[in-house]
């Protein structure tokens, strides 16, 4: 590295000293912490993003400032690779090292070694697009990121404004594919493919209203823009954040999925209505309805990521069946995590689909879904998408020419092509996922209640346990068993045995300072009781904080 380059990093890093006693890790989805602690981290991730761009021939890299479903006082930063996917995991250890470097000198030395090891030609200059969610702390963190990016001499930082996380990933992917890549292009793409799918519905019925909880975040605001151009969908948006509500507080996909109660702003007036929730940066989507007044108007029937996955799988399988023998050759597969409800796994297996499991974190699921012609991945928390392989897509596009227009086969192929355009190929996206759910429900002529009948979820319960050191929990690769602390898995197995259809596991969260407990059993009381005994075990093995 040239002296001028070293001087540039030394000078700017003086502006962002690392706070005392902070140890950060790139985690499930980037760095997350209280926003007041993050300037130095975001500045350093700015440097990393420039280097990543340079390593990949100055392709555009994305840097997103968000703490997604976490509380409003937190913030975070994650990197989108030029493909639009998550930062290559190979670079995560470097991210951890530089985020924790205790002095400008150590920082420079780590960067110098890395640049040499990875043979990064630093002369050309990279390009990084910077997005942020609606958190107020995002503005100053974005300035820190800009300074980090530009401290790699010749690199350019482009502020693309307040966006959902999936919008930034989509834009980065489009830019590197040489396509139109502005936010309006993103909307235009959703609108065109949604309208195409609506136009292909065999018997169109009047669609009922959807009520959307925007989590007081960026997703509701973007949805408002989107629906202005869509006449085939009636959406009422609540919790836009404009009426004083706090981001993710008593609202949003994470809250609804974990608590299984209505978000603020919903109640008795909504009994039976089709409702949906986004999370804070709109990369997660869940649906729900309030079953009856007798539940007091706050308990919900939840249609989580597993149910969305099942609906998508059903629709895609139906189109492949219409195409016939050639369509049936398509390798359609599903990727889930240990959190997937056992009933959903049984359902997709009964449909004849291949199911594989991955570790929590979309970066792990995405990788496995890419191995299929059409790979559908979803975490139960509502984060997921459908990936179409290049090869299968070009086969589909070829078939569009072979089949006569208006024929069943032509329509089925056209639907699949439109789905591949509508659903975000870079990352799970609540806006595009919602449009696809809506169009499939219209296609099937189904209500949300009818969709919910696809299968009955096994009762489940999730709890968080605060412990002095969550890294003391080490699990197997699919996170279904704990290897450490020694002896805890035997104790958990002992609890599981007491319950019919019992299943439980523990894992350290990668986004919060907690150990997560998941339990499933044949009744809700049993699932609650299993979760609580496993949580007790966690406390007794690790201590409470
Ligand atoms: C992030 C990841 C998800 C993961 C979630 C919870 O979501 O993108 O893949 O499921 O964190 O992770 P953990 O259990 O490790 O805390 P988001 O929506 O917060 O970006």
Q: Which ligand 1 atom minimizes the distance to the CA of 379?
A: 10
| Confidence class for position 297, pLDDT limits 50, 70, 90 | low
| Confidence class for position 329, pLDDT limits 50, 70, 90 | confident
Burial status of residue 169 (CB atoms within 10 A of its CB: 0-12, 13-18, 19 or more): buried
Instruction: Quote the pLDDT of residue 498.
Output: 97
Among 360, 384, 429, 473, the mutation site with the greatest number of ligand 1 atoms within 8 A of its Cβ is 360
For residues 266 and 295, give the distance between their C-alpha atoms in angstroms, rounded to a whole number: 13
Look at strands 285-289 and 374-378 and give their pairing: unpaired
Q: Which ligand 1 atom minimizes the distance to the CA of 254?
A: 18
Please give the sequence-ordered ranges of beta strands (E in DSSP) within 44-89, or none if there are none.
60-65, 74-80
Residue 294 has pLDDT above 70, yes or no: no
Superfamily of domain 305-436: Alpha-D-Glucose-1,6-Bisphosphate, subunit A, domain 3 (3.40.120.10)
Distance 366 CA to ligand 1 centre (A): 13
Q: Which ligand 1 atom minimizes the distance to the CA of 428?
A: 8
Helix locations, 123-231, DSSP H? 138-151, 165-176, 183-199, 218-227
Annotated binding site for substrate: 379-381, 507-511, 516
Residue 469 has pLDDT above 70, yes or no: yes
Q: Are 165 and 137 in contact (CB under 8 A)?
A: no
Determine phi and psi for 76, rounding to 5 degrees.
Answer: -170, 175
Q: Which ligand 1 atom minimizes the distance to the CA of 69?
A: 19
Distance 431 CA to ligand 1 centre (A): 18
**Options 50, 58, 68, 80, the catalytic residue:** 68
**Which has more pLDDT, 544 or 40?**
40
Instruction: Quote the pLDDT of residue 76.
Output: 97
For residues 380 and 377, give the distance between their C-alpha atoms in angstroms, rounded to a whole number: 10
Distance 474 CA to ligand 1 centre (A): 18
Q: Which of 533, 527, 532 is nearest to 260 (CA)?
A: 527
The pLDDT mean for the chain works out to 95
Tokens 């296609």 -> residue: 443
Residue 75 has pLDDT above 80, yes or no: yes
Superfamily of domain 460-542: Alpha-D-phosphohexomutase, C-terminal domain (3.30.310.50)
Residue 295 has pLDDT above 80, yes or no: no
pLDDT > 70: percent of the chain: 99
Distance 371 CA to ligand 1 centre (A): 22
CATH number of 3-162: 3.40.120.10
Q: What is the pLDDT of residues 178-222, one digit of tens each?
A: 999 999 999 999 999 999 999 999 888 878 999 999 999 999 999
Q: Is 479 in the pocket of ligand 1 (CB under 6 A)?
A: no
Burial status of residue 400 (CB atoms within 10 A of its CB: 0-12, 13-18, 19 or more): middle
Q: Is 253 in the pocket of ligand 1 (CB under 6 A)?
A: no
Annotated binding site for Mg(2+): 68, 279, 281, 283
pLDDT > 90: percent of the chain: 90
Provide the β-strand partners of residue 384. Answer: 378
Q: In the chain, where does the domain assigned CATH 3.40.120.10 lie?
A: 3-162, 192-302, 305-436
Q: Which of 16, 32, 46 is nearest to 511 (CA)?
A: 32
Residue 446 has pLDDT above 90, yes or no: yes
Residue 85 has pLDDT above 80, yes or no: yes
Q: Which ligand 1 atom minimizes the distance to the CA of 516?
A: 14
Q: Is 69 in the pocket of ligand 1 (CB under 6 A)?
A: yes
Q: Is 381 in the pocket of ligand 1 (CB under 6 A)?
A: yes
Q: In the chain, where does the domain assigned CATH 3.30.310.50 lie?
A: 460-542
**Which has more pLDDT, 432 or 243?**
432
The residue count of the chain comes to 545
Q: Which of 256, 457, 254 is nearest to 341 (CA)?
A: 457
Measure the CA dihedral 397/398/402/407, to 10°: -20
What CATH fold (topology level) applies to the domain 192-302? Alpha-D-Glucose-1,6-Bisphosphate; Chain A, domain 3 (3.40.120)
Q: What is the pLDDT of residues 107-133, one digit of tens each?
A: 999 999 999 999 999 888 999 999 999
Atom 14 of ligand 1, nearest CA residue: 509
Q: Is 361 in the pocket of ligand 1 (CB under 6 A)?
A: yes
Opening angle at CA 362, ends 470 and 65, nearest 5: 80
Q: Is 133 in the pocket of ligand 1 (CB under 6 A)?
A: no
Q: Is 379 in the pocket of ligand 1 (CB under 6 A)?
A: yes
ipTM, two decimals? 0.94
Distance 318 CA to ligand 1 centre (A): 31
Q: What is the pLDDT of residues 27-55, one digit of tens each?
A: 788 999 999 999 999 999 999 999 999 99
Atom 9 of ligand 1, nearest CA residue: 361
Opening angle at CA 429, ends 219 and 259, nearest 5: 70
Q: Is 28 in the pocket of ligand 1 (CB under 6 A)?
A: yes
Q: Is 352 left (phi over 0), alpha (psi -120 to 50) or beta?
A: left
Query: Active site includes 68?
Result: yes
Q: Is 71 in the pocket of ligand 1 (CB under 6 A)?
A: no
Distance 511 CA to ligand 1 centre (A): 6
Tokens 């109640």 -> residue: 267
Instruction: Quote the pLDDT of residue 206.
Output: 79
In three-state secondary structure terms, 67 is: coil
């Amino acid at each position: 590295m040239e002296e001028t380059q070293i001087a540039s990093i030394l000078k700017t890093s003086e502006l962002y000293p690392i706070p005392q006693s902070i140890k950060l890790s790139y985690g499930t989805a980037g760095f997350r912490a209280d926003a007041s602690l993050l300037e130095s981290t975001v500045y350093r991730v700015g440097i990393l993003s420039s280097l990543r761009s340079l390593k990949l021939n100055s392709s555009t890299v994305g840097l997103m400032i968000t703490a997604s479903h976490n509380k409003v006082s937190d913030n975070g930063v994650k990197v989108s690779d030029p493909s639009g996917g998550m930062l290559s995991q190979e670079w995560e250890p470097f991210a951890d090292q530089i985020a924790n470097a205790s002095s400008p000198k150590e920082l420079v030395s780590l960067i110098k070694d890395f640049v040499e090891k990875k043979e990064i030609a630093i002369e050309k200059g990279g390009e990084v697009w910077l997005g942020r969610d609606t958190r107020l702390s995002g503005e100053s963190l974005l300035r820190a990121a800009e300074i980090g990016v530009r401290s790699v001499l010749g690199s350019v930082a482009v502020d693309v404004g307040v966006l959902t996380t999936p919008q930034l990933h989509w834009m980065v992917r489009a830019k590197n594919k040489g396509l139109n890549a502005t936010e309006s292009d993103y909307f235009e793409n959703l609108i065109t493919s949604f309208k195409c799918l609506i136009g292909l519905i065999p018997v169109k019925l009047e669609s009922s209203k959807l009520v959307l909880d925007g989590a007081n975040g960026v997703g509701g605001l973007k949805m408002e823009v989107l629906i202005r151009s869509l006449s085939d969908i009636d959406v009422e948006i609540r919790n836009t954040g404009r009426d004083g509500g706090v981001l993710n507080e008593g609202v949003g996909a994470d809250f609804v999925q974990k608590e299984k109660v209505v978000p603020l702003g919903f109640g008795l007036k909504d009994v039976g209505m089709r409702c949906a929730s986004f999370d804070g940066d709109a990369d997660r989507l869940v649906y729900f309805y309030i079953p009856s007044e007798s539940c007091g108007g706050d308990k919900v029937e939840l249609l989580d990521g597993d149910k969305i996955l099942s609906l998508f799988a059903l629709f895609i399988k139906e189109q492949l069946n219409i195409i016939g023998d050639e369509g049936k050759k398509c390798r359609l597969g599903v990727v889930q995590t240990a959190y997937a409800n056992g009933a959903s796994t049984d359902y997709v297996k009964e449909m004849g689909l291949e199911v594989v499991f991955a570790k929590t974190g979309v970066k792990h699921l995405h990788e496995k879904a890419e191995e299929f012609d059409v790979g559908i991945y979803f975490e139960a928390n509502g984060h997921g998408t459908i990936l179409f392989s290049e090869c299968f897509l070009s086969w589909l596009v070829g078939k569009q020419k072979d089949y006569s227009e208006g024929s069943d086969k032509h329509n089925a192929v056209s639907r699949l092509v439109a789905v591949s355009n509508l659903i975000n190929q870079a990352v799970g996206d609540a806006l595009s996922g919602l449009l696809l759910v809506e169009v499939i429900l219209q296609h099937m002529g189904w209500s949300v209640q009818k969709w919910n009948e696809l299968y009955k979820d096994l009762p489940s319960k999730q709890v968080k346990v605060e412990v002095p050191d969550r890294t003391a929990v080490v699990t197997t690769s699919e996170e279904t068993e704990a290897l450490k602390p020694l002896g805890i898995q035997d104790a958990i197995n002992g609890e599981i045995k007491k319950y019919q259809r019992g299943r439980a596991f523990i894992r350290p969260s990668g986004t919060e300072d907690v150990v997560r407990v998941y339990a499933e059993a044949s009744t809700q009381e049993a699932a609650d009781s299993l979760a609580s005994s496993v949580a007790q075990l966690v406390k007794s093995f690790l201590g409470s904080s």
